[in-house]
Every structure is written in C-alpha cells, then in structure tokens.
Amino acid sequence: MMRSRLLLLSAAALLIAFTSAAQQVQQPAVTQAVLAGKLVDVRSGEVRSHVYILIAGDRIQSIAQATPAGIPITDLSAYTVLPGLIDAHGHILSDPTTQNFAAHLRTSIPQATVWGIYNLRLWLDHGFTSVRDACEGPPDYPQFALRDSVKRGLILGPRITAAGSCISITGGHGDGAPFSPDIELPRGRNTADTVDDVAHVVRRDIKYGADWIKLMATGGVMDAISDFHVQELSEPQMAEAVEVAHRAGKKVMAHAEGAVGIKAAVRAGVDSIEHGTMLDEDGAQLMEQHHTWLVPTLYCFQHDMETGLSKGRDPDSYAKGVEIMAAQGPAFKLALAHHIRIVYGVDDADVDQSVSKEFGALVRGGLSPLGALQAATINAATMLGKDKDVGTLEPGQFADVVAVQGNPLADITVMEHVVFVMQGGHIVKDPAHPERNPVIHVK
C-alpha cells in the first residue's frame, strides 16, 4: 500500500515537472524590455518603481524587478509609464481646419480619407494606440478601409474599432443635407424613418464591416437643423437596431443629448450613451440599472466655445453650445453620483489640439485622476470588448506603452504631453530619438 502511494506521488511529481517544463518551452522568448521609472497599475492606482516590462514580439510577457540580460532595453527610468491610451469617440475623417457644416460637400471621399490618415498619425503621436470611430458620412465606409489598412500594416495608426453610418431620421442630426426644399438630393443610405428602415441600415452597416452601430437618438449641436432636446429615432426603432446588432455580435452606441432621448435609448438596450449632456435624475438611475456606459466628451463642447465662430461655425450652432455648457457640469455630476461607468472620448475634429485635453475636463468635472486614466484605458478596453488585449500593462496584453514626465495621479495635465509611445512592441515616439517618425502639423 505504501509503495503504491509512493508511486502515485512520484507520478504526480513527474507530471507537475513535465507540465512546468512544457510551459517554459512554450513561453515565447523575450525580445526587448522597457525600464519604467514609475509604472501605474490602472486597475488599482498602485505605482511600482524601477520595474522592467518584458516583451516577447508584440505582447507583454511579464513585469520584472531584475535587470534582464542579453536583450535591448529602452530606458524610461526618468518617466511615468502607463498603458497605451484609447479614444472611444473619434471621427477619423474629420477636417480639423473647419467647422462649416457644409464643408463635406466640398470634400471628396479620397480627400477625407487622406485627412483620416493624417488624424490617425496624430492620435498615435499623443499616445492613443486604439480608437473607436463613432460613425462617418460617406456611404462606402472609408473608415473600414483605414481600419483594415492599419491592421495589415499599410499605414501607421491606432487600432481601429469602427462604427458604420450615422443612422438618422430625415432632417435629424445625421441628415447631411441642410438645404432649402427646392434642392432635392438622393436619400442618404443612413436615413431611417421606420423600424424596417433601421433594420435595413443596420444590416447594411454590418454587411460591409461595422464593429459598432451608431444611432442618432436626439438632435445635435454642431448642425444647424436639429434640436438636441428632441428625441429623433423612436424607441422601437432603437430597440430594433439593438436586437439586430446584438444578434450579430455587434454593439450599439447612441448619440443622445436631450434627457428624453437618453432614456429612450437606454430602455432600448444600447451599450453606450455618447455625450449625455442633459442627463437627468431618472436617466441616471436608468443608466445605472442597465449598466450603460457613458462617453461624455466634455472637452469637445468646451473647446468649441473657445474657438467660437472662427472656423466657420454656424451662429445657431454656437447658441446651442451656450446652452449645452450650462447643462454639462450638473449632468456629469449626476452620472458620477450614480456610479455610471465613464469612458474617454474626444469627438473633436482637431485631434492635435484636443485629444489629450479630455483628461483635464474629466477631472475638473469631478472624476478622480485615476478615474480619468481608467476611462482612457481599462474602462474603454472593457466597453469595446478588447480588455484581453489592451487597456493594462499585464502579461498577455499587447505591448502598448506610453510615458509622461511627472505624476498623472497628482497632476492629470501631464497626460497632455506624452513623450514615448510604443504600439505592439514597435516604438513610434521616443524622447531619445525625436527625429524619428516626425509628425507634420497642418497649417
């Protein structure tokens, strides 16, 4: 009996040893390391000093205290290191030089696509290694071509999660034809005035490659024809969009400014509310109960008031912005009081000037510095369903690494000056070599 037990124990020990050895053999070889002076754990806020991020190919293998031997080491000992950032509300094709609502009529789709290539490079330069495109106007989906081109390595940019068209009622916020009635244009491919229309547009978006569906639940601010207080798509329309999208494994975001439209979109089952600027107590309770994400895009509205009419903005749009600014602060405080999950999003055409400023706006609005960092990392990754790949500096994640000078947990504005960017193990921006991959800033 004793001998049998000994044999079983020996067999178990051999099995454990074999499994351990097999795991060691399968573990990919470390190809490089990053030395972090300070490393922020965005889950907990814990800061570790003088640690090495060991990288195997495009993924993080481990975090170590000991100095690795025989591999290249990028020395960021003078910096604070964080995961690559995520902007969850961008419009890739935007022209940063104008806010004229009719500018798209003078911009060809090829030109808009070139703007997209330019904007993607700016996002990356500011440390945003992932971005969610929140819908575009052209019916042939240039954003999908850009997404796939980044993935294939044809162009440099953040990893893209892309919505399709901006699904809108006739005359709504996504209706790109604000003309007099004697000027007849073809019906937009994004226009949906019935439940069946919505199902068709959603299916078309999915057919051609949409990762997310974008609904215009209310009017907007930047256009001159809609009223942001007014609910546009009906609740049955939005519920149909959610049913079709979720059945296909896709998620749904809703542009929603006014309180009535916010609540209708949440009841319909959307995954995220974009803006939520007129959120009221009932709406906040609904979002909390449904675990709906909020992408508040605070700085976008603030920046638009700073630029005023200087970029061709319509005066009626500016007047709406004044009202929005009065409501923005109280609505965001309601969201925080109800523990609504916050995600970082910019929604500003001027990526170079705005993309990093949402950090400060979130903290001024009442979010903690750690909460603002989480909004642009782990929260955004979780909302996008990408938290197994991005959002933290942990083993198995993509080696998306950014660095700043100073302590963002004490001064969030240091996030406006990212000095180092690595995406998937590839160094994009390096303070030791500022001449590499220079960004041309548009005039």
Q: Interhelix angle for 315-337 vs 281-290, to 10°?
A: 60
Question: Model's pTM, two decimal places?
Answer: 0.92
What are the distances in angstroms from CA 163 to CA 118, 198, 201, 247, 426? Answer: 19, 15, 12, 16, 27
Does residue 350 share a domain with residue 316? yes
What is the CA angle 396-399-404, rounded to 5?
130
Does residue 222 share a domain with residue 78? no
> What total number of domains does the chain contain?
2
* Residue range(s) defining the domain that contains residue 402: 29-83+393-429
Tell me how far apart the alpha carbons of residues 331 and 319 are, in angstroms, rounded to a whole number: 19
pLDDT digits (tens, 9 = 90+) for 181-234: 888 777 889 999 999 999 999 999 999 999 999 999 999 998 888 899 999 999
Side chain identity at 103, as an amino acid letter?
A: A
pLDDT digits (tens, 9 = 90+) for 157-180: 999 999 999 999 999 998 877 777
Does residue 51 share a domain with residue 112? no
* 403 CB neighbour count, 10 Å cutoff: 25
Tell me how far apart the alpha carbons of residues 440 and 118 are, in angstroms, rounded to a whole number: 9
Most confident option among 12-16, 180-184, 302-306: 302-306
| pLDDT classification of 419: cutoffs 50, 70, 90 | very high
In-domain check, residue 1: no
Tell me how far apart the alpha carbons of residues 348 and 92 are, in angstroms, rounded to a whole number: 10
| pLDDT classification of 437: cutoffs 50, 70, 90 | low
- Please give the mean pLDDT across all residues of the chain: 92
Does residue 89 share a domain with residue 76? no
Does residue 199 share a domain with residue 64? no
Tell me how far apart the alpha carbons of residues 321 and 387 are, in angstroms, rounded to a whole number: 34
Does residue 135 share a domain with residue 41? no
Residue 14 pLDDT greater than 70, yes or no: no
Q: What is the mean pLDDT of residues 102-128?
A: 92
Tokens encoding 248:
């296909």
Give the helix/strand (H/E) hosting 406.
none
